[in-house]
Amino acid sequence: MIYVPNTGNQRFWGEYPWHPCYNTIVDWSVKEVNNKGSVLSYHVPLYEYEFSTNSFDHMEDESSSFYMPSKKIIEEMGLANNKEKPGEWMKDNDVVFIDPAVVVNTQSCALFEKKLFCEWLKGNDYVLIWLIGGEKQLFTHHARHFFGRLNYSCLYYMDGEGIIRGETWTEQEKPRGDEKI
């Protein structure tokens, strides 16, 4: 499974990405061999910062986290973090990456300025890929009967032109009539 690396509560956000403690991440590039013998290379474009549990971090909320661009993206795009707002990254004094969860009560997410990000994708012959999966089930109030389930899987991608394409697959699991939960 693809995962987003995190700090593990032991590093300060102001030291990212230049401090030697971040050198062990090795640009978050991974090469995997699939079951057909093909080599698949990918780069995780995010890093999750988890606030330190001590008071030296000077953050308002010591129990939250937020996303930042990967070290590779920061270096190749020439980004700088906004010292006043930890979830923002700038290029030429313009905000180009933000995790709004730092200032708004919402789930953490990574928002990139699309035009600039597409230029980076195109310049490196990359595509951005989203892998989505889940299920939807129906239950009674006491969850005593299985009414069925819809499993879904999605693969979407965006190329350097900013065009998003993809597919969704679903599988419906119907009750057999004798199942109880």
pLDDT value at position 136? 84
> Residue 164 pairs with which residues in a beta bridge?
158
Backbone angles phi, psi at 40, to 5 degrees: -115, 125
Backbone angles phi, psi at 57, to 5 degrees: -80, -20
d(CA 82, CA 5) in angstroms, rounded, equals 21
What distance lies between CA 38 and its chain's CA centroid?
25
Q: 180 to each of 134, 138, 146, 151, 173, how far by Cα in Å? A: 22, 13, 6, 19, 15
Per-residue pLDDT of the chain (181 residues; tens, 9 = 90+): 566 666 655 666 677 777 777 776 655 566 666 777 777 778 888 888 876 555 554 555 555 688 889 888 999 999 998 888 888 999 999 999 999 988 888 888 899 999 999 999 999 888 999 888 998 876 666 666 777 888 999 999 998 899 999 999 999 888 776 555 4
Question: How many residues are there in the chain?
Answer: 181
Residue type (1 letter), 161: E
What distance lies between CA 176 and its chain's CA centroid?
38
pLDDT value at position 106? 86
pLDDT value at position 113? 95
pLDDT value at position 181? 46
pLDDT value at position 87? 83
